[in-house]
Structure 1
Amino acid sequence: MGSLFEELEAREAAARTRVESLEAELAEVSGKLGAAREGLERLRIARETVAEVLAEMTPQGSAVPVESREASAGEGVAAAYAGAERRVIGVLTVPNWQPGMGADVLPSVYRDIVEVVADAPGPVRAKQIVPRIGLPAETGKIEGTRSKLKRLVERGWLDEDAPGLFTPARRRTGSSSNSR
Structure 2
Amino acid sequence: MGSLFEELEAREVAARTRVEALETELAELSGQLDLARESLERLRIARETVAEVLAEMTSEKSAMAVDADLPTVGDPVASAYAGVERRVIGVLTVPNWQPGIGADVLPQVYRDILEVVADAPGPIRAKQIVPRIGLPAETGKIEGARAKLKRLVERGWLDEDTPGMFTPARRRTANSPNSL
Give the shorter-chain TM-score range: 0.5 to 0.7
Kept in 2, the 8 Å contact 1:96–1:155? The answer is yes
Say which SS state the counterpart of residue 96 (structure 1) adopts: coil
Q: Superposed, which structure 2 residues align to 1:54-69 within 5 Å?
A: 65=58, 67=62
Residue of structure 1 equivalent to 2:122: 122
- Are 1:83 and 2:79 matched, yes or no? yes
Deviates more, 1:91-100 or 1:160-169: 91-100
Unaligned runs of 5+ in 2: 1-49
* CA RMSD between the two structures: 3.9
1:83-141 deviation per Cα after TM superposition (whole angstroms, max 9, x unaligned): 25359999670000010111110001011000100011111000000000000000111
Residue of structure 2 equivalent to 1:148: 148
Residue of structure 1 equivalent to 2:139: 139
Structure 1 CA distance, aligned partners of 2:165 and 2:70? 41
- Please identify which structure carries the higher helix content: 1
Structure 1 CA distance, aligned partners of 2:142 and 2:70? 39
1:13-61 deviation per Cα after TM superposition (whole angstroms, max 9, x unaligned): xxxxxxxxxxxxxxxxxxxxxxxxxxxxxxxxxxxxx9xxx9xxxxxxx
Kept in 2, the 8 Å contact 1:65–1:92? The answer is no
Structure 2 CA distance, aligned partners of 1:113 and 1:147? 12
Kept in 2, the 8 Å contact 1:156–1:178? The answer is no
Q: Which amino acid aligns with 2:116?
A: V
Structure 1 CA distance, aligned partners of 2:179 and 2:142? 25
- With the length of structure 2 as denominator, give the TM-score of the two structures: 0.52
Q: Which has the larger radius of gyration?
A: 1
Distance 1:109 1:173, change over 3 A: same
Structure 1: which 4+ aligned runs deviate by more than 2 Å?
Answer: 64-74, 83-92
How far does residue 82 in structure 1 lie from its aligned partner after superposition?
A: 1.4
Say which SS state the counterpart of residue 146 (structure 1) adopts: helix
Q: Percent identity?
A: 71
Say which SS state the counterpart of residue 112 (structure 1) adopts: helix
How far does residue 161 in structure 1 lie from its aligned partner after superposition?
A: 1.4
Structure 2 CA distance, aligned partners of 1:171 and 1:147? 22
The number of residue pairs the alignment matches comes to 114
